[in-house]
Amino acid sequence: MEYYTLLKLSLIPTSLLFLLSLVSIILTTHYWIIGDWFMPRIIDTLILEFDILIYYVENETNATIISGCLSVGAAIIAFLGWIKLRRSNMDSEALESTRRFWILSVVLCALASFGAALASLILHFTQQWDDPLFPGCKSEFEDTKNWLIHCTREVGACNVMPKLEIEGYNHAPTACNEARAVRWLTIPLMICDVAIIALFVAQAWVRREMRYQRVKRAAEKQVVYE
């Protein structure tokens, strides 16, 4: 397979990475807004003698936003790398440093995107606790007798709000579905990163072999002519 074919194939995971990361950022921003602005976080209970305060753990959401931004950046760098490396004059010895620069840039950015997506996925599963009433949360009573519930936005939308059934909880199913979709989107993001790395490294190897064969044939012809 020629290197140009591998470069053309790299456009598929590059485009998917760009689109999926944009979807991830949009969904994360949307359920973030729902959780902070439309669903109440301070609940004044009339029957009980204390208020319920919901605190969202930020690590998981922040990691998702960072992952989406890095994935967008990696896709843009990969596209720019495709534009530069598809040129036939890139095979010349004079442009060897430029060729290596773009290959390393694409690979390093894709690796950063992969690491961020993996960290986001890990945080989605590790930021979980075992509260008996609200699974996935941890709760405690403050000195003021307020009931504090600590959880991620996903757990808050999926496990806390539906049970409390207070004003604004009707937005919880939307936020819950979006948070879960974002969690699983990290897997195709990582697959796209791996595909981009594999294709760019493969085209570099094929290109080097083709260049070596051309130099070898040129040398053999020169010997024959002499």
SS3 at position 43 = strand
- Judged against a pLDDT cut of 60, whether residue 194 lies above it is answered with yes
- CB of 63 within 8 A of CB of 191? no
Rg (CA), the chain: 26
β-pair partners for 150: 55, 138
- Judged against a pLDDT cut of 90, whether residue 27 lies above it is answered with yes
The reported pTM is: 0.81
What's the full length of the chain, in residues?
Answer: 226
Widest distance between CA atoms in the chain:
102
- Judged against a pLDDT cut of 60, whether residue 189 lies above it is answered with yes
Vertex 207: Cα angle to 202 and 211 (nearest 5):
155
Q: What is the mean pLDDT of residues 102-122?
A: 94
The amino acid occupying position 202 is: A
β-pair partners for 148: 53, 140
* Per-chain mean pLDDT for the chain: 81
Q: What is the pLDDT of residues 133-145, one digit of tens each?
A: 777 888 777 665 6
Q: What is the mean pLDDT of residues 192-201?
A: 94
